[in-house]
Amino acid sequence: MEKKEYAILTVIALATVALGIATTSKPLGAFFVESTRQFLTTTAAMAWITWWALVIGFAIAGGVEAWTSDEEVSDLLEGHGLREIGYGSLFGFVSSSCSYSAIATAKNLFKKGGSAAATLGAFMFASTNLVIEIGIVIYLLLGWQFLVADIVGGFMLIGLMAFGFVYLTPDEVIEQARENIQDENDSTVQDPVCGMEIDPDEANYSTEYDGETYYFCSESCKDSFDPEEANTTIREQATSLSGWKALADKQWSEWGMLWDEIAIGFIFAGLIAGFIPESVWTSVFSGPTFGLPVYVFWTAVLGAVIGVVTFVCSVGNVPFGTILYANGLPFGSVLSYIYADLIVPPIMDAYREYYGTKFAAILSGMIFVSAVLTGIVIHFIFLGVGLIPDPSSVQIAEVKIEMNYKMVLNVLATVFFLFLYWLHRSESVGDEDPGEHAHTAD
């Protein structure tokens, strides 16, 4: 995240505290003490509950990216039928959970000929909202009903996006967006490890091998690259120390992109839980005064708007969503909030730079409308079958560090995390240094 975004979030945090001060009926001193305690315990409790899931989730994502090849992925995404949409969703599911990484990868797949429906619809959405780590965190904080709803709603949203690209967006607009990417990237090359487009003249890292120069976006990508191991099997990678180092490098890259957003999600959840009095929530979510459909509709719109203005993406949305649900935001509206992570302002600006203003507006509007509609439909489906959980079941108030399965999982996850960190920091592993020909570009 950039300094401007941190500044905006700081203003929102201060406004949250100010709102609490203006609306509380308690003495100011007592309010600050109690609210600060609630803020700290809620933040710590959510981090404690989800730590092991985040470590395992990022490790799985790192293993998938390090041990599998995506050279021919774009060929499988050229159409917009069920097969291509399915492949896009599958590749997204086993891909990155970082929204910024997801939009960059989707752009590259779209540039190489993948359809808008399969790349910008299925792949991009699945790689942020249907990945393993966000599923585990949703299950731990919100419950299994939300996990099922996230998956069902995710496929519904992908379907709506595909429909919009195929039947509502003119072909010439889509092809113009593709041409904009190709024109922009004529002088760039692709990082062979992560797939990011880079300008060779500005690349800080490069490797020479067999007469060819490879360029990298980061030192970790350069260190992970070993052309001699490109054809090794997953089993060989999983049973070699060099394979695990590649996994460690990949998962550390994911942590590097997401740790601040995850932390911000926990912090904002704690601030909301600690400093906003219950009277504020009851006045905002006062119930279906004009009927349940109208109530769910406007709160779904509100949820998506909150998702946009808070700047938090992917996994970091879930802790905040938990507090919103505990304080009255309806079931489906929480999903609309979570699904809106692909239209936060920095990402919409990236769409504009990639595809041009017109297509960026269509794409952003399509995601917003799809998130709202999906939240509404899922709400009434789950209401009809009686699967909407009691909001009180997701409240997290105190840190309880006890000798139970959470303690065991967190201790094991910490040991595993430190092991992967050691591998990542190691200069070389295995019998030979895969970067023996590597050098840093001038």
Greater confidence (262 vs 40) lies with: 40
DSSP state of 189: E
* Structure tokens, 306: 């909150």
Please report the pLDDT score of residue 172 as a whole number: 94
Judged against a pLDDT cut of 50, whether residue 8 lies above it is answered with yes
Range in 103-112, 191-200, 213-222, 337-346 with the lowest mean pLDDT: 191-200
Greater confidence (253 vs 90) lies with: 90
Judged against a pLDDT cut of 60, whether residue 421 lies above it is answered with yes
pLDDT band at 295 (very low <50, low <70, confident <90, very high): very high
**Pair type for strands 438-440 and 205-209:** antiparallel
Q: What's the CA gap between 346 and 343, in Å, rounded? A: 8
pLDDT band at 227 (very low <50, low <70, confident <90, very high): low
pLDDT band at 436 (very low <50, low <70, confident <90, very high): very low
- Percent of the chain having pLDDT more than 70? 81
* Structure tokens, 406: 């959470």
Q: What's the alpha-carbon Rg for the chain, to the nearest Å?
A: 23
DSSP state of 131: S
- What is the H or E stretch that residue 126 is in? helix 124-129
Judged against a pLDDT cut of 90, whether residue 311 lies above it is answered with no
Judged against a pLDDT cut of 80, whether residue 60 lies above it is answered with no
DSSP state of 388: P
What values do phi and psi take at 72, rounded to 5?
-110, 15
Judged against a pLDDT cut of 80, whether residue 206 lies above it is answered with yes
Please report the pLDDT score of residue 1 as a whole number: 61
Please report the pLDDT score of residue 441 as a whole number: 38
Judged against a pLDDT cut of 90, whether residue 287 lies above it is answered with no
Per-residue burial over 227-238, b if 16 or more Cβ lie within 10 Å, else e, is eeeeeeeeeebe
Overall average pLDDT of the 48-69 stretch: 74
Q: What's the CA gap between 318 and 313, in Å, rounded? A: 9
Please report the pLDDT score of residue 118 as a whole number: 93
